[in-house]
Structure 1
Amino acid sequence: MATKTSETNTATTTPEKKITVGNASVNEKEMKDSSLHQFFVSALKDIYFAENAIIDALEKMQEAATTEELKDAFEDHQLQTKKHVSRLEKVFKLIDEKPEKKECEAIKGIIKEGEEIIKSTKDGSMTRDAALIIAAQKVEHYEIATYGGLAQLAITMGHDKAADLLEKTLEEEEDTDYTLTEIAETYINFDAEQED
């Protein structure tokens, strides 16, 4: 879907940018004032907070994990999450907004649940690793839902470059979810079932 930007002169001879999305054309100020744009920015701030919180949570999960495969997966995803934060900062810049965090109650709850899992499972057990994978996948599913929705909103509003960045992160979150499932099925779940 092509997005065109044009300038028209107003009575005060101030250039006014027009954004064309599909067959519709709106000026940039109207787009920024729209409730959809405001929701989009608010949701970006929410996931920006979440990604930063996830970086710290992944470090705790890596330390608590038993198997090297899971420790490595958490370490890899922590590095990837740092890239996601940087990518979100680019999205903010593309839509001419300042990167800001908005406290995300959903991710705080999911992270708290992960911390409870660490406290309530035996250190060094496969059961803990199985539980950590489920906790991590809850994080991934939250991110997948968020990035999928944000990418579609970006497309709807004609923010094509931002949409591309959001879709790239979405694909990486889906890949991480798949990797966690593979680790669970290959290394952890059967051994956890054998534990006393």
Structure 2
Amino acid sequence: MPSKEKNLNDLFLHTLKDMYFAEKQILKALPKMEKATETDELKKAFAHHRKQTEIHVDRLEKVFEIAGARAQGVTCEAIKGILEEGEEVMGDFADSAALDAALVAAAQAVEHYEITRYGTLRTWAEQLGLKDAAKLLDQTLAEEKQTDELLSKMAKAVNQRAAA
């Protein structure tokens, strides 16, 4: 039995560590995805998101500071699984007309995970009275949603090419 009862702040910090790990792993995956695609538009989208992800890591470090904690990650099995699945699909569909469709689908799986986590973190930050942290998390959440919308638009074109 734990010696200390866990509270929302503990959960917030754990999830923050989870996202810090996740963003660092995403930073490693995006160049591979960028290299795998032959579509200039998709290459640009992955390159842009890589730069955005670097900003997300910086923001998370600021949120840690606001929360009075050291920036550190904790292994996130969910993102590891999502990224491993993406790597597997990239390998299975390399040099095929469906590769870009697979890359977009893998990227959207990552985005959807991030959207759920950032939305939750923002809400918890608000409830914990960490208004500045909530604002930073909300900025990242908005950017993740924009990326997802862009990927949805791109999916239509790459899916049509894959189906042809």
TM above 0.5 = yes
Letter in 2 for 1:168: Q
Counterparts of 1:114 and 1:65 in 2: how far apart (Å)? 13
Instruction: State the 4+ residue runs in structure 1 displaced beyond 3 angstroms.
Output: none
Give the C-alpha shift of residue 34 in structure 1: 5.7
Report which of the two has the higher share of strand: 1
SS of residue matched to 2:98: helix
Counterparts of 2:161 and 2:14 in 1: how far apart (Å)? 43
Give the C-alpha shift of residue 191 in structure 1: 1.1
Report which of the two has the higher share of helix: 2
1:110 aligns with: 82
Aligned CA RMSD, in angstroms, stands at: 1.1
Give the C-alpha shift of residue 36 in structure 1: 0.7
Give the C-alpha shift of residue 126 in structure 1: 3.3
1:30 aligns with: none
Check if 1:35 corresponds to 2:14.
no
SS of residue matched to 1:97: coil
Letter in 1 for 2:161: D
Give the C-alpha shift of residue 79 in structure 1: 0.5
Question: Which of 1 and 2 has greater Rg?
Answer: 1
| Aligned with 1:100 (options 39, 58, 72) | 72
Letter in 1 for 2:102: A
Mapped contact 1:66–1:126 kept (Cα < 8 A): no
Identity %: 48
Check if 1:190 corresponds to 2:152.
no
2:54 aligns with: 82
Check if 1:70 corresponds to 2:55.
no
Name structure 2 gaps, 5 residues minimum.
none
Give the C-alpha shift of residue 66 in structure 1: 1.9
Give the C-alpha shift of residue 184 in structure 1: 1.4
Q: Deviations over 1:84-110 (max 9, x none)?
A: 000000000011110011010000000
Q: May I ask how many residue pairs the two structures share in their alignment?
A: 160
Counterparts of 2:94 and 2:24 in 1: how far apart (Å)? 28
Relative contact order, CA 8 A, sep 6+: which one is greater? 2
SS of residue matched to 1:126: coil
